[in-house]
Structure 1
Amino acid sequence: MISRSLLCLRITPSILRSFSTSQTHQNFKSGISLDKLYSSPLQSTDVKPTIPSNETAFGGYIPLDEVDISYMRSSGPGGQHVNKVNTKVDVRFLLKDAKWLPESMKENIMKKHSHMVTPSGYIIVRSDKTRTQQLNLADALDKLRAQLYSTVERPPVRPDHYTIEVHRRRAEKATRERLREKRIKSDVRQFRGAQ
C-alpha cells in the first residue's frame, strides 16, 4: 500500500533517503563546530585590556603601551644572523610617569633600590638571550617583572611552632653530640696519663 502511494507521487527511494538525511544534517552539530567552540561572541582585537587598579600592590601587569620597546642588533655568536636581524630588546619606562605602579612602590624603588634607576629616571631592562624578538621581549618583561617584585617589602614571617620545635631539638641533639665527643676525648687523655 505504501509502495503504491509512493509510486503515485513518483518519489523514488533515493529521493526519500536524500530528504531524510538532509533533515538530520540540519539538526546535527559536531562537537567541534564553531558554535560549540566559540559559544560567546568573539571579542574584537582592537579593545585595550583594562589595567587592574590596585593601589596597594603591584599585580604583575605591565601595559605595553606605557613602556618604550626598542629593538637593536644583538652581539655575541650567531654569524651573519646576528649582524642582520634586530633581535636584542630594550624595554624602558620613566618611573615617575608609571601610572600602573603604586606610589608606595615608586617611593620604595627611589629610596632603597636606586641602583635600578638611571640618573634621568628611567628603569631599563635589556635582553638578547635568544635569536628571536618575541622571546627576547618576553624575557625582558619577565626580568622587569622580577625586578619590580623584588622591590616589594614583605613583612617578616614568624616561624610556626612546629619549625621552632624542630630547630630546638636539632640544637639539643648537636649539644649532646658535642658533649659526648668532649667526654670521649677527655677519657682518652686520662687513659694516656694513667699509663
Structure 2
Amino acid sequence: MDPSSLHPDLSFQFARSGGAGGQNVNKVATKAELRFSVRDSGLLTDEQRTQLLEKLANKLTNEGELVLTHQTERTQLANKEKVIRKFDRLIAKAFEIQKPRKASKPSKAAVAERLDQKKRRADIKSARRKVDE
C-alpha cells in the first residue's frame, strides 16, 4: 500500500520526534501525525459519522478531528505506515458491534448455598456472645 495514495480525507504532517535521541533527532522530521475529520468526511454515512463521534469522543478535537501520531521509527515512511495501521485498528474497533449482555440469575443451588453459609456464619458469631443466666 502506498500511503501517499490514500483518501484525501486523511492528511499527514511531519515534525521532529520528541525525547532523547542521537545525531539524527534534531535534523530529521520523522514523527508522523495523521488527521482525519470525522465531521467533514465524505467517506462516512450519517449513521457511521454519529457512531464514530460517539465512540471516539475522548480522542477527537473540538472540531471533530481525529489526530493520531507515531514517532518510534527512524523514518517518515515507517512512522506513516504505523500511524495508518493504528488508524485502521481504531476505526475497525469503533465499528465493532458489542453483543448485548444477557441478564442471568443465580441457580437455586447457588442461592441455597449462600443462605446456608450465612446461617453457619451467624451461628459462629452468636456462639461468641455471652450467655445470659
Above 0.5 in TM-score? Answer: yes
Instruction: For residues 104-152 of structure 1, give each alpha carbon's deviation from its aligned partner in whole angstroms, at most 9, with x where no partner exists.
Output: 1212334564443334443211122333434433432243234434544
CA 1:146–1:171 in structure 2 vs 1: closer, same or farther (change >3 Å)? Answer: farther
The alignment partner of 2:79 has SS state of helix
Task: Indicate the residue corresponding to 1:106 in structure 2.
Answer: 49
TM-score (norm 1): 0.49
Unpaired segments of 5 or more residues in structure 1?
1-44, 47-62
Q: State, as a whole percentage, how many aligned pairs show the same letter.
A: 26
Unpaired segments of 5 or more residues in structure 2?
none
Q: How many pairs were matched up?
A: 129
In the alignment, which of 17, 20, 28 is matched to residue 85 of structure 1?
28
Contact kept in structure 1, 2:70 and 2:79, CA below 8 Å: yes
Instruction: For residues 26-55 of structure 1, give each alpha carbon's deviation from its aligned partner in whole angstroms, at most 9, with x where no partner exists.
Output: xxxxxxxxxxxxxxxxxxx99xxxxxxxxx
Q: Which amino acid aligns with 2:82?
A: D
Q: Distance in 2 between matches of 1:176 and 1:152?
A: 46
Higher relative contact order (CA 8 A, sep 6+): 2
**1:94 has 2:34 as partner:** no
Q: Distance in 1 between matches of 2:6 and 2:110?
A: 51
| Higher Rg of the two aligned structures | 1
CA 1:172–1:91 in structure 2 vs 1: closer, same or farther (change >3 Å)? Answer: farther
In the alignment, which of 47, 58, 61 is matched to residue 118 of structure 1?
61
Q: Which amino acid aligns with 1:193?
A: V
Give the RMSD, CA atoms, in angstroms: 3.5
TM-score (norm 2): 0.66
Higher strand share: 2
Task: Indicate the residue corresponding to 1:27 in structure 2.
Answer: none
**1:136 has 2:79 as partner:** yes
